[in-house]
Structure 1
Amino acid sequence: MPRFAANLSLMYTEVPFLDRFEAAEQDGFTAVEFLFPYAWAPQDLAQRLQAHGLQQVLLNAPPGGADRASMATAWDRGERGTACLPGREAEFRAGVQEALLYAQALQCPRIHVMAGLAPQGVSPEVLLATYVANLRWAAQQAAKAGCAVLIEPINPRDMPGYYLQRQDHAHAVVQAVAEPALKVQMDLYHCQIVEGDVATKLRHYLPTGAVAHIQMAGVPERQEPDAGELHFPYLLDLIDSLGYTGWVGCEYRPRLGAQPGATRTGLGWMAAYRSAAHR
């Protein structure tokens, strides 16, 4: 059966961030992921994980910034990654090194490195060459730390201008980089919006071993996976049948928002799926 990780950046927003670890444990999660941890000291996050018996399975490298303070605010400034951006290689490397420090402190085996928004006036060849070179360096550094670097196609409706949008592009980049520590993060929400045919994509890519993490959300609202145009019981059964043993991140926004108990109220889908799988 697929193993679910709570995304603490999008879920449990009804409570302060550091209280979300306890909330996830109370709802039966044994693993968590989040986006950018750089506003909190790594030792504080590690203490929360240990106190609540949780495994950190994914975190994002900073989307920009040259030091921890600027990394913590980069997303709010509109930064969406630097991996494909020529001229920002030093900033990219600083971000990866900071992410690896957090990954080691949290015993997290995967970091997602964002590509960035493709700048106007730069040729596709230069963007690709910059992206490949940066990812090769990052994968080599991550391998030394026993960690994997992940790249994720993101749909242009939610993130206009994002460089990496398609599954085939991501897998071609992985092949071009040719480093074992570089893998793909396959978000079924983004995949459906950009390409559709999600089940066929799963059948094609999961057997390659290049997909190291899966995420899901209902489409198109990015809410619980029990509504919308994707039938997740079918897709989760398919993922299981294909031998995928990694985590499935619940990267969705509860439909009740930040109301008290909103996340827990929306978790009926998980109990229903687990119950049906055991029949």
Structure 2
Amino acid sequence: MPRFAANLSMLYNEHEFLDRFAAAAKDGFKAVEYLFPYAFDAQDLKQRLNDNGLQQVLINAPPGDWDAGERGLACLPGSESEFQTSFHTALTYADALNCPRIHVMAGLKPLGADLALVEQTYMQNIAWAAAEAQKSGRDVLIEPINTRDMPGFFLNYQSQAHHIIQHIGAPNVKVQMDLYHCQIMEGDLATKIRQYLPTGRVGHFQIAGVPMRHEPDFGELNHPYLFELIDEVSAACGWEGWIGCEYRPARGPVTNGTHDGLAWLFE
């Protein structure tokens, strides 16, 4: 089986956030990820990791004003200074948590904007972030997100992400290959895993059941087959990454709701 990381932004919502680390460790997780840790002191988070023997394998850079509808800053012309400030904040947390990967959300395409300028802005911002991250040995991840959950998002397809990475040419820029988003936008997951994982450009996977984003044993995907395939391809190409469990438990935030939905992992 691949190595799985609990996404504490979505899992264990029956607990307060800082108590989710212990809950994940109790269920056997060895690693965690979450979206935006910036409401918490980095040293408090580090203590929870240490207390529970967990690795931090992924965080997101600040996305801008989430409540106002922003979903990342990287593709927004005119927001370069804000993007750089936010990414330096992410680097500070990544250093404190010994986190090797920072996901940078692309953002929503501004209405009426010149798409060539939007793409140019995005590539320049990601290239700058890669250079900054390289100083401390961090990877920058970019993630195609489906247009149903996030209409107007700049980055939607695996081929688009890999094209951007090849154009930038920085070895520490990689794709966060979320199989939930990929299935909704493209399908043909097995072929894409075989195609892209050996390139060295995939830094992280994420999973959820399709279409409801519940546990991976809910919905239309055959996750046991996909896990075996990831193991097979990883063994051949030397990939040693993690799979983030970024789903909403079907039972919701009820007592033991997340634990009771982990039959897919315990089997």
May I ask how many residue pairs the two structures share in their alignment? 263
Give secondary structure in 2 for the equivalent of 1:127.
helix
Give the structure 2 partner of residue 4 of structure 1: 4
Give the structure 2 partner of residue 266 of structure 1: 261
Match among 217, 237, 252 for residue 247 of structure 2? 252
Give the structure 2 partner of residue 70 of structure 1: none
Query: Which residue identity lines up with residue 248 of structure 1 in the other structure?
Result: I
Runs of 4 or more above 3 Å deviation: none
- Provide the TM-score with structure 2 as the length reference: 0.97
* Residue 176 of structure 2 is aligned to residue 185 of structure 1: yes
In 2: Cα distance, 1:75 partner to 1:31 partner: 26
Give the structure 2 partner of residue 241 of structure 1: 232
Give secondary structure in 2 for the equivalent of 1:215.
strand
In 1: Cα distance, 2:90 partner to 2:109 partner: 22
Query: Which residue identity lines up with residue 243 of structure 2 in the other structure?
Result: V
Give the structure 1 partner of residue 21 of structure 2: 21
Give the superposed CA RMSD: 0.6
Give the structure 2 partner of residue 148 of structure 1: 139
Kindly provide the CA deviation profile for residues 189-211 of structure 1, in whole angstroms up to 9, marking residues without a partner as x. Answer: 00000001111110110010100
In 1: Cα distance, 2:218 partner to 2:15 partner: 24
- Provide the TM-score with structure 1 as the length reference: 0.93
In 2: Cα distance, 1:24 partner to 1:104 partner: 22
Shift of 1:76: 2.5
Give secondary structure in 2 for the equivalent of 1:149.
strand
Kindly provide the CA deviation profile for residues 93-151 of structure 1, in whole angstroms up to 9, marking residues without a partner as x. Answer: 01110000000000000000000000111122101110110000000000001100000
Give secondary structure in 1 for the equivalent of 2:66.
coil
In 1: Cα distance, 2:88 partner to 2:23 partner: 30
Shift of 1:174: 0.3
Give the structure 2 partner of residue 91 of structure 1: 82
Shift of 1:75: 2.0
In 1: Cα distance, 2:120 partner to 2:168 partner: 10
Give secondary structure in 2 for the equivalent of 1:169.
helix
Give the structure 1 partner of residue 192 of structure 2: 201
In 2: Cα distance, 1:47 partner to 1:77 partner: 32
Query: Which residue identity lines up with residue 27 of structure 1 in the other structure?
Result: D
Percent identity of paired positions between Structure 1 and Structure 2? 61
In 2: Cα distance, 1:84 partner to 1:77 partner: 17
* Residue 155 of structure 2 is aligned to residue 160 of structure 1: no
Give secondary structure in 1 for the equivalent of 2:244.
strand
Give the structure 2 partner of residue 171 of structure 1: 162
In 2: Cα distance, 1:159 partner to 1:253 partner: 16
Give the structure 2 partner of residue 44 of structure 1: 44
Give secondary structure in 1 for the equivalent of 2:68.
coil
Of stretches 135-144 and 75-84 in structure 1, the one that deviates more from structure 2 is 75-84
Give the structure 2 partner of residue 67 of structure 1: none
In 2: Cα distance, 1:86 partner to 1:54 partner: 38
Kindly provide the CA deviation profile for residues 220-248 of structure 1, in whole angstroms up to 9, marking residues without a partner as x. Answer: 01000012110000000000100132000
In 1: Cα distance, 2:91 partner to 2:243 partner: 22
Query: Which residue identity lines up with residue 55 of structure 1 in the other structure?
Result: Q
> 5 Å matches for 1:93-108?
93-108=84-99
In 2: Cα distance, 1:120 partner to 1:252 partner: 30
Query: Which residue identity lines up with residue 195 of structure 2 in the other structure?
Result: H
* Residue 109 of structure 2 is aligned to residue 118 of structure 1: yes
Give the structure 1 partner of residue 30 of structure 2: 30
In 2: Cα distance, 1:181 partner to 1:105 partner: 19
Give secondary structure in 2 for the equivalent of 1:184.
strand
Give secondary structure in 1 for the equivalent of 2:69.
coil
In 1: Cα distance, 2:251 partner to 2:85 partner: 38
Shift of 1:9: 0.1
